[in-house]
Structure 1
Amino acid sequence: MQRRFDHLDDVWPAGLGRRLGAMLYDGLLVMAIWIVIAAAHVAVSRLVIGLPPEQVGLGGAQVLSLRALLALSAFAFFAFFWTRGGMTLGMQAWRLRVQTLDGCSITLLQALQRFLVAGLSLALFGLGHVWVLFDRERRSWPDIVSGTRVVVLPKHPRTSG
């Protein structure tokens, strides 16, 4: 179920610098997840399937299964955060949120569209992300394709206690 965000008049479109900062932070988190998954994949290959050490990682089934697990885990990471609160951990650090054009949390389909187009954008030397510099509304290719936008949240005033 989509959630409507508050204070929509207080946000503005995110620029490239903040987006890259959040992407770097999230990239490190995804790499940590991938290390755990790769270690589990090796453990299953050795302990459950019983492959000798010299055969671990060889063969199409092992390579394909590991790649599929890595892709699915990366998507699960982003989809979980984007569809719930609109912010991954990296986006929280940079005060960014992804939302629909009318200010709601995004759907699972929009998360999938963002994820796939973001991967394509990176494969094309980041062109889809650099597009933010040329778009009047500061939209990247994932934003345009999925009908979403990334906004900067205002700083919360500090309370003295």
Structure 2
Amino acid sequence: MTIALDTPGLWRRMACWVYEGILLFGVVFLAGYLFGTLSQTRYALDNRHALQAFLFVVLGIYFVWFWAHGQTLAMKTWNIRVVGRDGKKITQLRALGRYVLSWVWFLPPLLAVSPFHLSGGEIVVICLGWFAVWAILSRFHPQRQFWHDAWAGTRLVTSAPLSR
């Protein structure tokens, strides 16, 4: 079986990214509920850093497992697959590297705003601006891949829908 190595368009990849965020709401909700129950956390700000670390690990498990199998649920919907540079499935270690590197979507704007006491709206605008810049930077990659994919040795490709 040969996998076509056509890169999905930017709008399709971003639509998949937004849909992934919607699906992750349920994952984060259940993980947060589990953490709060097991740690007997009574107030939202208690154990905040432990909860963030726990969610980082839970999201890592979600993404590494699905990427090592080729697609997340959102990627299946949008017919996108993550593969190595050679077009083959990626290992769990490479998926873990992709997960860590994918935080470049979030960490730079959050670190940039952290010393300032900005309102939630201002933080959202700065983050959305960075997301747009980071997405547009994929236009400068030879295969139009996101740069964290290039650094991780992975790429997003169009995948044919599975026959029923």
**Does the alignment reach a TM-score above 0.5?**
yes
Give the match's secondary structure for 2:145. coil
Deviations 1:55-84 (A, max 9, x none): x3444xx12221111111111111111101
Aligned position for 1:154? 160
Q: CA deviation at 1:147?
A: 0.9
Backbone CA RMSD of aligned residues: 2.1
TM-score (norm 2): 0.76
Aligned position for 1:63? 48
Q: What is the identity percentage for the equivalent residue pairs of Structure 1 and Structure 2?
A: 27
TM-score (norm 1): 0.77
- Which aligned runs of 4 or more in structure 1 are off by greater than 6 angstroms? none
**AA partner of residue 68 (structure 2):** T
Whether 2:79 is the aligned partner of 1:73: answer: no
**Runs (5+) with no aligned partner, structure 2:** 109-129
Whether 2:131 is the aligned partner of 1:136: answer: no
| CA gap 1:118/1:129 in 2 versus in 1, 3 angstroms | farther
Aligned position for 1:118? 102
**Runs (5+) with no aligned partner, structure 1:** 1-5
Q: CA deviation at 1:122?
A: 3.5
Once residues 82 and 134 of structure 1 are traced to their aligned partners in structure 2, the CA distance between those partners, rounded to angstroms, is 24
Give the match's secondary structure for 2:83. strand
Aligned position for 1:12? 6
Aligned position for 1:93? 77
**AA partner of residue 131 (structure 1):** L
Give the match's secondary structure for 1:13. coil
Once residues 39 and 160 of structure 2 are traced to their aligned partners in structure 1, the CA distance between those partners, rounded to angstroms, is 48
